[in-house]
Amino acid sequence: MTAAEGESASTPASASVSAGARLHLGFTNLSAERERLYGSLGVALAEPRVTVTATPAETVDCPSVVDDYVRRAVAHLDVPGARVTLDETLPRHVGLGSGTATALATAAAVARAYDRRPRVRALAPALGRGRRSGVGVAAFERGGFVLDGGRPTAACGTPTATAPSDTADGSWTVPRVVARHAVPPAWRFVLVVPAADPGRCDDAERRSMRAVVDDADPATADRIAGLVIRRVLPAVAAGDAAAFGDAVTEIGRLNGTWYADEQDGVYRAPVDTLVDTLLAADGITGAGQSSWGPVAYGVTTTDERAAARAAGERALDRAGVAGDVKIVAPQNCGARG
């Protein structure tokens, strides 16, 4: 037990925590020639969601998908065990932040089951989350639009081809939030989730990220910095969906130039077709690929949601793939529970 988590004499029978998905709109820098690496932009979504319920127990009893998270949480909290159930799940490895949201919801539910107050930002590294991007942790904490400051390049270690590393000593703190704004309640996001291969994760993601960092053009980071300061932040603060959509579309494309060798293009297939179709549609002001995909997103509003849904379905048809289309609201608060 740590002092930050606290303790109480009473222990509730069970505790539930529910967290929404997030969009990862891109990094601000992936070049080791600049003083800070990563720095990411994202938006918290009201759905889809993961909901976890935990009950104190003498051992660990849970679905295999969260077994590692439960065991890490139990060890960190110094409690005997927990019985954990998944009441709702996020689609895994599609670009919606399922790993971080599920890990944090699981750990927070276990903590609350023991009447502890979870400090998810401090707990995230123990769960293996928040090493590069702080968007998932920040979305869990407070929701909204988030920009994190990345990490000092010197603290990210010297990788090798066979042992890619993101830190010099194997430990890290989650990148701090440098800007956060409530997303206007009239904004909506169309999510197009194709039936396609999952995005990269774990060792494959680490190898790809290190390859990208090795070759990333620092001039691209400088262009993105200008877009963030002069276009993205003013647009979200002013509630200008069109300006926001234009800016994040350009940031996504610039990120894609960094990833092109790793994913065979500015966007991976079939996201390239999905994004092009969304951008050509009325009612959608911007579009891109979230994280490694295969989710494509579009920026729209409540007034245009019917047209946006039709555009998403048309995008799947043109790409020749099955899939789902959702129109979702932003979430301007943290996880519930």
Return the CATH number at 180.
Answer: 3.30.70.890
Question: Domain residues for 214?
Answer: 15-328
Beta strands in the chain (DSSP E): 15-29, 36-56, 60-61, 82-88, 145-148, 151-152, 177-181, 187-194, 286-289, 296-301, 323-328
Q: Within a domain: residue 334? A: no
* 274 vs 10, higher pLDDT: 274
Q: Within a domain: residue 199? A: yes
Query: Is residue 27 very low, low, confident or very high in pLDDT (cuts 50, 70, 90)?
Result: very high
The domain tally of the chain equals 1
pLDDT at 12: 55
Q: Within a domain: residue 138? A: yes
Torsion 102-108-110-113 (CA) sign: negative
Average pLDDT over residues 196-209: 86
Average pLDDT over residues 18-24: 98
Q: Within a domain: residue 302? A: yes
| CB-based contact 301:310 (threshold 8 Å) | no
Tokens of 283: 């009612």
Residue whose tokens read 């995005």: 199
pTM of the model: 0.91
Q: Within a domain: residue 6? A: no
Query: Is residue 155 very low, low, confident or very high in pLDDT (cuts 50, 70, 90)?
Result: confident
Whether the predicted pLDDT of 168 surpasses 70: no
The rounded Cα 153 to chain-centroid distance in angstroms is 21
Q: Within a domain: residue 7? A: no
Average pLDDT over residues 71-98: 96
Q: Within a domain: residue 4? A: no
The rounded Cα 192 to chain-centroid distance in angstroms is 16
Torsion angle, alpha carbons of 195, 197, 203, 205, to 10: -80
Cα gap 86→63, rounded to integer Å: 8
pLDDT at 335: 97
